[in-house]
Structure 1
Amino acid sequence: MTDPTAGQRDVNRGRVLAAVTRGANSRAGIVADTGLARSTVAGLVQELLAEGRLTEDAAPAGQRLPGRPPKVLRVAGGRSVVVAVDLGHSHCRVGVVAVEDGAAVVLGEGTARLDVDASPDEAVDQAVRIAKRLLRATRQAADAGGVGLPAPVDVRTGSVGTGNLLPRWVDRRPAAELSARLGVPFAADNDANLGALAEVTFGGARGVDDLVYVKAATGIGAGLLLGGRLHHGVGGRAGEIGHVPVDPGGPVCRCGNRGCLETVASTVQVLSAVRSHEAAPATMADVAGLVTAGDPGASRVVTDAGRMIGRVLADLVNNLSPRQIVVGGELAAATEPLLAGVRESIDRYAQPGLARGIAVTPSSLGVSAELLGAAALAMRLGHAAPS
């Protein structure tokens, strides 16, 4: 008979590893981060140390206090093979990824087109089927997994929050569901957060500790990396820039407000505006083709979207002073006019000293950013023991 507590124990092990990844490097810090009981944390830490998934070393000299030298917990390194799942509004994308020494190699990848919100059960089923097929084809055994989706995820509980593109997923715990089906620990996070994580782990923002990653697609969100750590806010809701009002008299947003950024600058609005004067482009790749061909209407529409996004980002620049802004998502297919619009607004509305010091760049990972972010999440959690 299966132990009914085994699944919860795996989830709690993942929560401990996630807390250490976020900077909770002591048992007391893990308790504060996760809300788990002290005795539970003590037992799980001891297990993970024995398995080599955590290490415990003397703290650096600058962090020591008088008395007995403290020790700090860290996630162990090594090669791991992870399952990465990217759930979008209309796709389920899965990869089997080998990660070692800051490099990721996608060993196998598969995508299913479906309405992810219409049937969460079917989306999870698809992810599991694709993952199992890829693991068989690549002859790999997964050590861990990560999943991203366009919704706030409470990192303490793993639950999906309200007010997102996938309302039928509210209160579901996708990491726990995938873990139970695939037999390895999983972690979940918002897709924009995973884009930020991918860029600093595998992409063009390596070494950057303060970064804003913008995912501009059907929705618009920002992943915030502050001081080298992802900033989630209460309930995982930090970075919801798509719901910043930019036009008080604008259309009603799905969140209930009027004129949110998402109602004027998402791919839905860009495609609609371009269709008003061109033969209907089906995708943002079609719009990018029009831009490349020199179509002035398509270029203006995308530039205007970039200006609106940049206006909201200028406030983030003034408040957070990041070193770099990375723009990704489907809208970034039309890279040049989009970034030009973003840059123009930041230069106009942000403090001059801050604006001059910030780099605005396209995602170096393109459409793979969120998938590789899910791999980076699994890797950082350290679920996989070193090979």
Structure 2
Amino acid sequence: MTAAAFAARPAIGVDIGGTKIATGVLIGDELHGRHIQPTPETGWEAVLDAVAAQVRALRARYGEAAPVGVGVPGPLAEGRTRVKFAPNIYGFTDVPLVQGLEERLGLRVVLENDAKAAALAEAHLGAARGTASSVYVTVSTGIGAGLVLGGRVWRGHHGIAGELGHVTVMPGGPVSGAGLDGALEAVASGTAIARDASYALNREVSTAEAFALAEAGHPAARRVVTQALRHIGIALADLQKVLDPEVFVLGGGVAKAGDFFFAGIQAAADEYAGPFAPVTLRRAQLGPDAGVIGAALAARLEGL
């Protein structure tokens, strides 16, 4: 397939999240037919039923030939056919997602991790467009990442490349959802920032409030937020030395904090990159559409 034919081919993207399912059709560089609905809370089969219904509707409207890609949070298994677990989706443990959707739809389906899908989207159509190598990092409830080399996701030998949130940065520190002490997401995610700010201020504090207080100069909030951003910056500096990507693209809910977020990470990254290579940060451009676009691109790249 030529590059022009690849870019023009319609592809359906599905982004399954803890609270919503987003779908759309990527035609050329543009997303059409966006649709968002609540994620069913009655088990994985109900989720697959909802996804299948939307895919049928989109294929009827935009063409039966459109391939389908699905992005989900959590680790994948068996050649990206099953979801090991998605902690924020009720009943999503050991889910035969590809088989389940293929039986419902009668066509092949490509499954992708949501962070890797967003990485693919930003590399092809977003902030890293035009680069040969990029790392997308999402800082939200947890911390995830995706590596794109030569336009394709780098998965590693065991398929786990990009699990930045589970890199140990503070041995003996808080335990993460994966049971690891001192993992990056346990000390620097939005969840961790809200937890530490609440403890430091002796009241319930959201992540957004923690950043607002930090920017306003509140000593305790500023220290909590600065420490979290420092951990992220150090992790990116380490990745720069190991992988040497052209750019890092930062997205996710916490990144919406803006300049204070980026400046804190950049300062730490610059300090710990040392004399090796600069850490170049860019802001994600595709926002909430990144997961859908990336899932559609994954289907295109699989050549379905």
Q: TM (normalized to structure 1)?
A: 0.68
Aligned to 1:290: 212
121-130 or 360-369, which deviates more: 121-130
Matched position secondary structure for 2:76:
coil
Cα 1:279–1:163 change in 2 (3 A) is closer
Does 1:331 pair with 2:254?
Answer: yes
Query: What amino acid is aligned across from residue 325 of structure 1 in structure 2?
Result: F
Match of 2:281 among 348, 360, 364: 360
**Cα separation, 2, equivalents of 1:235 and 1:160:** 15
Q: How does 1:180-195 map to 2 (within 5 A)?
A: 180-195=103-118
Alpha-carbon shift at residue 110 of structure 1 (Å):
1.3
Cα 1:145–1:263 change in 2 (3 A) is same
RMSD: 3.1
Q: Deviations over 1:320-366 (max 9, x none)?
A: 101100011122121322212221221111243412xx320111112
Cα 1:264–1:382 change in 2 (3 A) is same
Match of 1:108 among 17, 34, 41: 34
Match of 2:15 among 83, 86, 96: 86
Contact 2:11 2:297 in 1 (8 A): no
Aligned to 1:127: 51
Alpha-carbon shift at residue 305 of structure 1 (Å):
2.2
Matched position secondary structure for 1:352:
coil
Cα 1:167–1:133 change in 2 (3 A) is closer
Alpha-carbon shift at residue 141 of structure 1 (Å):
3.1
Aligned to 1:199: 122
Match of 2:176 among 253, 261, 277: 253
**Cα separation, 2, equivalents of 1:192 and 1:106:** 21
**Cα separation, 2, equivalents of 1:111 and 1:278:** 37
**Cα separation, 2, equivalents of 1:319 and 1:168:** 37
Contact 2:140 2:252 in 1 (8 A): yes
Matched position secondary structure for 1:83:
strand
Contact 1:264 1:305 in 2 (8 A): yes
Q: Deviations over 1:16-36 (max 9, x none)?
A: xxxxxxxxxxxxxxxxxxxxx
Q: Which runs of 5+ in 2 are unaligned?
A: none
Contact 1:150 1:190 in 2 (8 A): yes
Aligned to 1:306: 229
Contact 2:68 2:110 in 1 (8 A): yes
Contact 2:12 2:58 in 1 (8 A): no
Does 1:140 pair with 2:68?
Answer: no
Q: Which runs of 5+ in 1 are unaligned?
A: 1-53, 56-73
Cα 1:154–1:75 change in 2 (3 A) is farther
Contact 2:240 2:273 in 1 (8 A): yes
Q: TM (normalized to structure 2)?
A: 0.85
Matched position secondary structure for 2:23:
strand
**Cα separation, 1, equivalents of 2:49 and 2:25:** 20
**Cα separation, 2, equivalents of 1:298 and 1:119:** 39
206-215 or 231-240, which deviates more: 231-240
Q: Size of the alignment, in residue pairs? A: 301
Match of 2:300 among 375, 379, 382: 379
Query: What amino acid is aligned across from residue 14 of structure 2 in structure 1?
Result: V
**Cα separation, 2, equivalents of 1:220 and 1:380:** 25
Query: What amino acid is aligned across from residue 84 of structure 1 in structure 2?
Result: G
Aligned to 1:22: none
Query: What amino acid is aligned across from residue 108 of structure 1 in structure 2?
Result: R
Q: How does 1:58-77 map to 2 (within 5 A)?
A: 77=6
Cα 1:313–1:197 change in 2 (3 A) is same
Q: Identical aligned pairs, as a percentage?
A: 34
**Cα separation, 1, equivalents of 2:99 and 2:222:** 43
Matched position secondary structure for 2:95:
coil
**Cα separation, 1, equivalents of 2:22 and 2:99:** 17
Contact 1:253 1:259 in 2 (8 A): yes
**Cα separation, 2, equivalents of 1:229 and 1:305:** 30
**Cα separation, 1, equivalents of 2:175 and 2:255:** 25
- Give 1 or 2 for the bigger CA radius of gyration: 1
Matched position secondary structure for 1:338:
helix
Aligned to 1:99: 27
Contact 1:194 1:370 in 2 (8 A): yes
Aligned to 1:151: 74
Query: What amino acid is aligned across from residue 126 of structure 1 in structure 2?
Result: A
**Cα separation, 1, equivalents of 2:78 and 2:261:** 32
Q: How does 1:40-55 map to 2 (within 5 A)?
A: none
Matched position secondary structure for 1:254:
coil
**Cα separation, 2, equivalents of 1:353 and 1:83:** 41
Aligned to 1:20: none
Of structures 1 and 2, the one scoring higher in RCO (CA 8 A, sep 6+) is: 2
**Cα separation, 1, equivalents of 2:203 and 2:228:** 20
